Structure 1
């Protein structure tokens, strides 16, 4: 069955309306030379940004679109955009397969796979993060908010909350973009994400550390434990 026929049910007028919006977004992605961000899609379609995000994530889940870094000429971390997936042999599964292949390579050949993955994550976290201006000091709350935004742009559905103890934060991460690979190679993927958070916080000169990432505390939920230091909370 054609993957586009699976986008939404056709049984109701509401379903047809959602399908029309989603098909229009898919056409935009296919016509674009570069990945399009949520704001651009919302502007072109007149949809609310949350609605545009909902349709884009549905297209990703259906294998019709993929997340990609938008090209930018100014310094700073690239925003996450969306592009259409060209169907051919293997369909939209090639990136998931590539992720699985690379994760298995690290797990099978590195003497310390988790350490290697965390080190790679730190480098990418420093690349994707945003360094504050000289002499500017972020509060713990500001740093956690920026980290939450980075994880959202990477495809997670994050939610940060202060814990019962002073200086403790819990960053809940749902909708892992590498969920299927993480289930097979948890030590690699989760260490990569923990390193990414640590690298981003280091770049921000944040008074916060990412202490641990507890995977699958509930189905589809991972929790990062963060700690603010020196009264920064």
Structure 2
């Protein structure tokens, strides 16, 4: 696995937890314990790492009956379930990108709207901090992060890892705010190839 901002996902157990939350949402610790087979205390430790990374959020259950409210965990996904940590990261990436474009105007030549540029700032910075070397192609709206670090993983694990990371990348775009969204990976017979495709699809897209 990679390092940096995705270090919270260096454990496949955390990937499993996040995958469960991405698919089902609003799960309790007991739900996640049953889904993963992990001890409840281990689940708690993993959840805290994922919260600190901006990948999940926690809210208190609203009860209409007597009893202690439970903590409910959801995958952070932008507008639907925003993470303040992920929003801050996206905002700071956009600020750094704007500063770089002011210092080096030649790097700011683009036909994309400002909101989309800020989304790409956030995505590229997030991938770079995760240990990838993303190659952005604005014309084809694609991001090449080959070679895939999970190419040698078991096929079932690789499928889960890809699904989780694609959803995370789309979450970065969503938290940044703008029209771009992830559509999936470009087809390839080589597991080491990883080209993620984007499109204008969110409200406000052209």
TM-score tier by shorter-chain length is 0.3 to 0.5
Q: Which has the higher contact order (CA 8 A, sep 6+)?
A: 2
TM-score by length of 1: 0.42
Q: Which has the larger radius of gyration?
A: 1
